[in-house]
Chains A and B, each alone.
Chain A
Amino acid sequence: MVRVHFNRRQLCIPYGLFLALFVVIPMLLILFYAFTEEVDGILTFTFSNFLNFFTSTAKLSTLLMSFTVAIISTAICLAIAYPVAYILARSKLRRRNVLLMLFILPMWINFVLRITALRELLDLVGLLGTQNYLNTIIGMVYDFLPFMILPLYTTLEKLDESYLEAAADLGANPFTVFTKVTFPLSMPGVISGITMVFMPSMTNYVVSDTLSNFNITILGKLIDQYFTTYDNWHMGSMISIILLVIIFLTMLATGGFKDDGREARGANLW
């Protein structure tokens, strides 16, 4: 019997080794690179990458701009997704699942192709090459909208109708019912959606590159540039650490840690 239990548990050894070698050690390497520099071929410990980031106007303005683009994109996503999710979840349609499917279907289609298609559309209406920031925000909203709709729909659909009726019976008008009952109860979905949209909006540089003709540098692009263009892996690692701290702080602020991300990725539809 003891041998049997031992056997089942052994199954996690390959995955444990995989995680240690290809996830944990690489993350530690980022930390190592961020706090070292190469002088005459010798690696030495240094805070200079850290200090350099926070004293460089160019890098700080990239951070600020990227942060702003991500906040605006997330806010627009929420403003579009909430009404859609609300309408779908409250509708009496028998096949509303099929309707939902139409809204989140692009999630599974290669995003580079979708963004290139959007680029063609923006080109056709004359925005490409003239409105780089606007295009980038449109692109982020376009790409990440399904990831906002899905968690919102999931929470709104589970919402117990009787709470809303009770609030109305107790004299609340429809507006108050929404602000005091519906919206607070949908907060888990809102938070899950925000965490799914905000971070990629700061880092997915394929969207900003494609739609701004490579004129906008978001934080993710800056990391890419330090690895591919400037060949300074130490600075690139430091910017990654700063990005990780930002991700960690947003998750702490929104309490998004509980969500495993799988549901929001639409896995349940397969």
Chain B
Amino acid sequence: MVKRIVSVAICVAVLLFIYAPILLLVVYSFTDSNVIGKWDGFSFALYADLFRDAEIMQILFNTVWLALVAALLSTALGTAGAVGIFYSKRKFAKPLQAASQIPVINAEIVTAISLALLFSALFLYRTYFSLIVGHMVLCTPFVVLSVMPKLKQMDPNTYEAALDLGASPSQVLFKVVVPQIFSGILSGFMLSITLSLDDYIVTAFTKPPMFDTISTYVYNAVKNGTNNSTPALRALSALIFIVMIAVLLVINLRARKPAQKEAAK
């Protein structure tokens, strides 16, 4: 009994630590006050300000399209890469996999400055090109890591069977291989989206000067001491927290059931 109480107490304490800042921001996003800690009555004023703020809306839009473009390109490149590596001879596959691990293990600041060095040598420093490539460097290795286990689970005979039955290699790829590894592709895509949305350091070193994502905008707001003077940002954070938590809970509560069935087999 004591053990149970201690267990529950530990879990509750840690959850409080994790969610206290988020809760604080969400609560104070519903009052029209300049500082957190001062309650000026319930109001949606900050949300109204938020949606009228053209600059913040532009930044939200930037962040989302960057994540989508980077994730789509990373998923295509990474899926093809994983398939290619899977069917390649060991002596080709090994170095590719090792190189693919570099951005995963590396400190993000080192990845960021390495790209800065490359793109300034190519006269492409701080362009949309360097920005998208930067995000792809972060995301693509995770797509490869997501797809690879699915390729290994695949029955190798289905590939040969499809060929014997007259399918062309590209037909086999799209009608036999891709459907079987699709869950890996999808999880690689979702992971890419979250990695891109979460990134600050690589974005800061590769973005065009006038381009901002939520991460760089908020960091610069804190740096310039304007964080407190833009309460609309509080509403933006609160909104992102609420939406992300809701989406993640729904996805996981729904996805959990078939996954458990699969695990039970």
Give chain A's interface residues, CB within 8 Å of chain B: 3-5, 7-16, 18-27, 29-30, 33, 80, 83-84, 87-88, 91, 97-99, 101-103, 105-106, 108-114, 116-121, 123-124, 142, 145, 199-200, 202-206, 209-210, 214, 220, 223-224, 227, 233, 236-237, 240, 243-244, 247, 251, 260-262, 265, 267-270
Contacts and interface: CB of A to CB of B under 8 A. Distances in A.
Interface residues of B, number: 89
Contacts of A80: 14, 17
A98 B255 CA distance: 11
Interface string B162-174: 0100000110010
Interface of B: 7, 10-11, 14-15, 17-18, 20-22, 24-25, 28, 36-37, 77-78, 80-81, 83-85, 87-89, 92-93, 96, 99-111, 113-118, 121, 133, 136-137, 140, 142, 144-146, 163, 169-170, 173, 186-187, 190-191, 194, 197-198, 200-201, 205, 214-215, 218-219, 222-223, 227, 233, 237, 240-241, 244-245, 248-249, 251-253, 256
Contact of A15 (B84, B118, B222): B84
B117 A233 contact: yes
B101 to A, nearest CB: 7
Contacts of A262: 104, 142, 145-146
Contact of B114 (A26, A87, A120, A210): A26
B214 A110 contact: yes
A240 B109 contact: yes
B248 A110 contact: no
A30 B108 contact: no
Contacts of A114: 21-22
Contact of A200 (B104, B107, B194, B251): B107
B145 A267 contact: yes
A251 B197 CA distance: 28
A210 B253 CA distance: 34
Contacts of B222: 116, 119, 209-210
Contacts of B110: 30, 203, 223, 240, 243-244
B96 to A, nearest CB: 6
A80 B218 CA distance: 29
A204 B110 CA distance: 11
A110 B197 contact: yes
Contact of A112 (B21, B190, B214): B214
B15 A102 contact: yes
B90 to A, nearest CB: 12
Given A117-B21, A117-B22, A267-B191, A240 B113 contact: yes
Nearest to B120: A233
Nearest to B15: A102
B195 to A, nearest CB: 8
Contacts of A13: 84
